[in-house]
Amino acid sequence: MKLGFFDSGIGGLSVYRLARKALPEADLIYYADTDNVPYGEKSESEVTRLADEAACFLVDKGAGAIVLACNTATSAAAGYLREKLNIPVIGMEPAVKKAVEEHPDGRILASATPLTCRGDKLRRLIDRVDSEGRVDTLPLPGLVRLAEEGNFSPEAVKPYLEKAFSPFDLTKYSAIVLGCTHFLYFTDSFRRLLPENVSIVHGNDGTVNQLKRIIGGSCPGNSREEYYFSGRPAGNAELSKIKLLLKRLEELEEYDA
């Protein structure tokens, strides 16, 4: 069985990389819908349609389980896909529960895409886990664009984040949730800009653990990897780009909470 990973673009590689490490023998397929990124600035129905197309593509290629390595696609389409497909669909949502549990004091900033931030799924999650009203949401669509441009330079990221954080008194916050897989490319900038009292929390490990639980622990195969960009197989230039992105994510591991 192959495992399919899907994101609007390169963000989901941050989940894929951990899955590769956790399941070294598994055959993996990664689908980046780069023709249609960003999802976070589209409507829920549009994202559902695109996620449906990508998921069907992965099933046709032999995926026996699909990881929606995209909080936005999960928010819009996980329910629909679970009804439609007869294979496991593992989704991800901003790690607000983890942040609330690990940080019983102080406020929590849940950053995500605009669509995830205004979606019912996140609202319901916050209502469920945040009885004290400690969680605020913050859409950061600019980071998705910068990541897709491959622009990780502090000159571009710092002013954007400083402006986004300016309405918040960060001394009152104990954690920020990175509720979009693209944001993992910027953990160095987050760490430099945020005061020490603010921890960085994300759900990537949790998603991979959930995947392992659902497929029963391991997934024997031949360690094959296939990459597709909106349905087209990745060419050499794209494969080199993916290699560099995976390397960047690995280097950023030291900033993980």
Q: Please give the positions annotated as active site.
A: 70, 180
State which of positions 44-103 bind ligand DGL (CB under 6 A). Answer: 70-72
Residue 4 interacting with ligand DGL (CB under 6 A): no
The secondary structure of 115-170, three-state, reads HHHHCHHHHHHHHHHCCCCCEEEEECHHHHHHHHHCCCCHHHHHHHHHHHHCCCCH
Among 7, 27, 44, 93, binds ligand DGL (CB under 6 A): 7
CB of residue 221 to ligand DGL, shortest distance in Å: 26
Residue 203 interacting with ligand DGL (CB under 6 A): no
How far apart CA 4 and CA 102 sit, in angstroms, is 31
| Residue of minimal Cβ distance to ligand DGL | 40
Burial of 159 by CB count in 10 Å (0-12 exposed, 13-18 middle, 19+ buried)?
Answer: exposed
Residue 30 interacting with ligand DGL (CB under 6 A): no
Residue 27 vs 67, nearer CB to ligand DGL: 67
CA distances from 42 to 37, 39, 116, 245 (A): 9, 5, 10, 25
Residue closest to 173 by CA, chosen among 228, 110, 112: 110
- Which of helix, strand or coil describes residue 184? helix
Residue 16 vs 27, nearer CB to ligand DGL: 16
How far apart CA 51 and CA 7 sit, in angstroms, is 8
**Strand pairing of 232-233 and 225-229?**
antiparallel
Residue 200 interacting with ligand DGL (CB under 6 A): no
Residue 111 vs 174, nearer CB to ligand DGL: 111
**8 Å CB contact between 109 and 179:** no
Residue 111 interacting with ligand DGL (CB under 6 A): no
CB of residue 116 to ligand DGL, shortest distance in Å: 6
Among 19, 28, 32, 37, binds ligand DGL (CB under 6 A): 37
CB of residue 16 to ligand DGL, shortest distance in Å: 12
In total, the chain counts a number of residues equal to: 257
How far apart CA 36 and CA 52 sit, in angstroms, is 13
Among 13, 20, 26, 40, binds ligand DGL (CB under 6 A): 40
Residue 116 interacting with ligand DGL (CB under 6 A): yes
First-last CA distance in the chain: 32
State which of positions 158-197 bind ligand DGL (CB under 6 A). Answer: 180-182
CB of residue 83 to ligand DGL, shortest distance in Å: 21
Instruction: List interacting residues with ligand DGL (CB under 6 A).
Output: 7-9, 11, 37-40, 70-72, 113, 116, 144, 180-182
